[in-house]
Amino acid sequence: MSLLASPLAVLELACAGFSAMILVSYLAFHPPLVRATKLWLLLGLGVFPIGAAFAGNVQGFEATKQRSFCGSCHVMALHQQDSDDPTSGSLAARHARNAMFGDVNCYVCHADYGMFGTVMTKAGGMRHVWLYLTEYRNTPLAEAKKTIRLRAPEQMNGNCMECHSTRDTVWLRVPDHRAALDDVRVGRVSCASEGCHGFAHPFFRPPGERTAG
Amino acid sequence: MTKRRWLDVACVGALAALALMTWQIFDPRVWPVMVAMSLGQVLGTVSLAAFAYVVVSDFRAQLRAGRQGVGKKPDGDGDLQSATDEAQSPPLASGPGGGL
């Protein structure tokens, strides 16, 4: 069971289990409110639940990085299917087969970097939830394919350059790279565009290039 | 509401919070994770606050009783039950210093 592979999940379950035992015992026997009872309740209502919440938070933040988490909103199902497909040649799928990206390839490519990158990414994730609730909850998948797009596509090259620095001699040996170097670095030319490395997702189109189907 | 009832509510609330917080382990999708990190933790915090309220008010009642010279030691632990609890809750069967 994958649950046992996560020490945090085990810690959360253990804390929750101890806490539940104390609370159920209290509710069942209703002992007098003496000091010992209060100390037990402090464990059951304070110490163990806080431990469970702490472990659960870290576990939850890790869970939000998983591709399956991103794909649990139906409008992202196609993106997940493509990344899961071992025969797909899309940029997303090829990176998902790289151990550095693996099951968290959505997060690695779409997360903000820098000191506040994680916080900004999580805040952006809340924006996704809000948009899903208000706009996309009932959107058919076919419609979602045409309307969902990157909010700041010009910033995506920065994420590519976290690994592909554009300074490596092998990279610079490619004539197209050399020719578009400045444009790539400032995001005027996207790495993931037609004519370069192709779109990251096979059905993705920038706003101006949406297909009818 | 008696202190005993406050504690019952806190225990039930904490059990519900624990259930919400552990749900995300078995079903790590958007809603379980969000509920665990929001509703679960708010419920847990409110339960802890209710417990703290009972403990603090009990402590204040003991201080008051001590000052008025009407406090008594119902067990060997040096704890006093508040007048409210004694008046509104029937005595519960448990040994001296009865823990859980």
Residue B43 belongs to some domain of the structure: yes
Q: What is d(CA A70, CA A83) in angstroms, rounded to the nearest whole number?
A: 11
Does B100 contact chain A (CB < 8 Å)?
Answer: yes
Q: Which of A26, A33, A36 sits opposite B11 (nearest CB)?
A: A26
Which residues constitute the domain of residue B29?
Answer: 1-61
Does B90 contact chain A (CB < 8 Å)?
Answer: no
Give the side-chain half-sphere CA count within 13 A for A144: 16
Q: What is d(CA B8, CA B16) in angstroms, rounded to the nearest whole number?
A: 12
Residue B79 belongs to some domain of the structure: no
Percent of chain A past pLDDT 70, that is, above it, reads 93
Residue B69 has pLDDT above 50, yes or no: yes
Annotate A178-193 with DSSP letters as a single string: HHTHHHHHHTSS-SSS
pLDDT in tens, A46-94: 999 999 999 999 999 888 999 999 998 888 988 999 999 999 988 999 9
Q: What is d(CA A94, CA A116) in angstroms, rounded to the nearest whole number?
A: 28
| Angle at A189 (CA atoms; ends A186, A190), nearest 5 degrees | 100
* B100–A16 CB contact, under 8 Å: no
B25 → chain A, closest CA residue: A9
For residue A166, give both structure tokens. 């554009």
User: What was the pLDDT predicted at B78?
Assistant: 43
What is each CA distance from A102 to A43, A62, A105, A109, B30, in whole angstroms?
A: 39, 14, 6, 11, 20
Report the range of poorest mean pLDDT among A19-28, A94-103, A132-141. Answer: A132-141
User: What was the pLDDT predicted at A213?
Assistant: 34
User: What was the pLDDT predicted at B90?
Assistant: 47
Lookup result for tokens 């995506």: A156
User: What was the pLDDT predicted at A21?
Assistant: 97
Residue B97 belongs to some domain of the structure: no
What is the three-class DSSP state of B35? helix
Chain A CB contacts of B51 below 8 Å: 41-42, 45-46
What is the three-class DSSP state of B59? helix
User: What was the pLDDT predicted at B97?
Assistant: 42
Residue B72 belongs to some domain of the structure: no
What is the three-class DSSP state of A101? coil
Instruction: Quote the minimal CA–CA distance from A39 to chain B in Å.
Output: 9
Q: What is d(CA A66, CA A175) in angstroms, rounded to the nearest whole number?
A: 36
H-run or E-run covering B81: none
From B86, B33, B11, B90, select the one nearest A44 (Cα to Cα): B11
Give chain B's domain count: 1
User: What was the pLDDT predicted at B73?
Assistant: 54
Distance of CA A151 to the CA centre of its chain: 16
Does residue A35 contact residue A41 with C-beta atoms inside 8 Å? no
- A101 band by pLDDT with thresholds 50, 70 and 90: very high
Sign of the Cα pseudo-torsion (A150, A152, A156, A157, in order): positive
Residue B82 belongs to some domain of the structure: no
Q: How many helices (H) and strands (E) does chain A have?
A: 13, 0
Chain A CB contacts of B98 below 8 Å: 31-32, 34, 36-37
User: What was the pLDDT predicted at B1?
Assistant: 78
Tell me the residue type at A120: M
Annotate A102-155 with DSSP letters as a single string: GGGHHHHHHS--STTHHHHHHHHHHHHHHHIIIIITT--HHHHHHH---S-GGG
Q: What is d(CA A175, CA A166) in angstroms, rounded to the nearest whole number?
A: 13
Q: Name the B residues in 60-89 with CB < 8 Å from any A CB.
A: 74-75, 77-79, 81, 85
Q: What is d(CA B69, CA A22) in angstroms, rounded to the nearest whole number?
A: 34
User: What was the pLDDT predicted at A207?
Assistant: 53
- B46 band by pLDDT with thresholds 50, 70 and 90: very high
For residue B14, give both structure tokens. 């904490």
pLDDT in tens, A170-198: 999 999 999 999 999 988 888 988 888 98
Q: Name the B residues in 17-56 with CB < 8 Å from any A CB.
A: 17-18, 21-22, 24-26, 28-30, 33-34, 36-37, 40-41, 44, 47-48, 51, 54-55
Tell me the residue type at A42: L
ipTM above 0.95, yes or no: no
Mean pLDDT calculated for residue range A93-119: 87
Residue B87 belongs to some domain of the structure: no
For residue B66, give both structure tokens. 């001590």
Instruction: Quote the minimal CA–CA distance from A173 to chain B in Å.
Output: 44
User: What was the pLDDT predicted at A129?
Assistant: 87
For residue B64, give both structure tokens. 């008051």
Q: What is the average pLDDT value for chain B, to the nearest integer?
A: 79
